Amino acid sequence: MIEEKKENLDWDFRIEANNDPLNVGFSQVWKYRDLLMLFVKRDIVTVYKQTILGPLWFFIQPILTTITFMFIFGNLAGISTDGVPQILFYLSGITIWNYFNETLIQTSKTFTENAPIFGKVYFPRLVLPLSKVISNLLKFGIQFGLFVITLLVYYFLGKDVYPNIYILLTPLLLLLMGGLGLGFGLISSALTTKYRDLTFLIAFGVQLLMYATPVIYPMSSISDKYQMYIWLNPLTSIVESFKYAYLGSGVLDWFWLSYSCVFTLILLIVGAITFNRIEKSFVDTV
């Protein structure tokens, strides 16, 4: 009699294993959107909570990096910026690159840094990496504002900068950058649950990847013999399109931009499936 009553119970919510690797669970993420926003708020507020300068670090970091690049690559190495003022050339590349860099690094630590939470409370695990994408988008917005202000100053001073209609591509470029960072991060987070050494290799690899992306140099400085290899990097067309849209310097190539779109889509699918498979058993290995 008791068993019959249990079978007839109509549960409000059921937690069970997801055995379909293609079922990523976006519907569950939507149900937990309030938690997603709480994680986003946590990422923004707590990062610089106990620092002296606080949110000013959002501006200080790109400014110091730009000055360093200007001194080392612009003055000492004498790398061309295609006639664009150095500060704008490097700041534009750093602004769009930082979004990818931060998203990848932070999402790659999803399992290793949040294992205690995952072991105690249920919620869709995809919420955490998605929160990194959104919180880093807000950080990008702050640094992007700094870039736009600097751009306007040089534009009204009559310098060689030519913003154009292709700035309307900015949402697409951000979507691609965030997607690439998330895709690589999901795969990395799955692998680092078993192979902790990859945590160090990922940080090192991202630094090397920056030099394979035209962040500190223009494509025109690369010989025709090696340009194909640079274009095969899906980040290249995004960075070049961003520079072309805001500075009028760079290359907007629709073929390679389409290639980046397809690459991002495939990467996200592979990353989501890999993440989905690992999340069921990662607690046993972390």
Domain, as residue range, for 278: 23-284
- pLDDT digits over 177-197, tens only? 999 999 999 888 888 777 776
Q: How many domains does the chain have?
A: 1
12 inside domain: no
Q: What is the mean pLDDT of residues 237-241?
A: 96
Which contacts (CB < 8 Å, 24+ apart) does range 15-21 have?
15/122, 17/280, 18/276, 18/280, 21/273, 21/276, 21/277
151 inside domain: yes
Total-model pTM: 0.86
223 inside domain: yes
4 inside domain: no
16 inside domain: no
CB 92 within 8 A of CB 66: no
Percent of the residues in the chain that have a pLDDT greater than 90, as a whole number? 43
Calpha distance 286→277 (Å, rounded): 15
Calpha distance 278→274 (Å, rounded): 6
Q: How big, in percent rounded to 5, are the helix, strand and coil portions of the chain? A: 70, 0, 30
- pLDDT digits over 34-62, tens only? 888 888 888 777 766 666 666 777 788 88
- pLDDT digits over 128-182, tens only? 889 899 999 988 998 999 999 999 999 998 888 889 999 999 999 999 999 999 9
96 inside domain: yes
94 inside domain: yes
Sign of the dihedral defined by the CA atoms of residues 264, 129, 108, 17, in that order: negative
17 inside domain: no
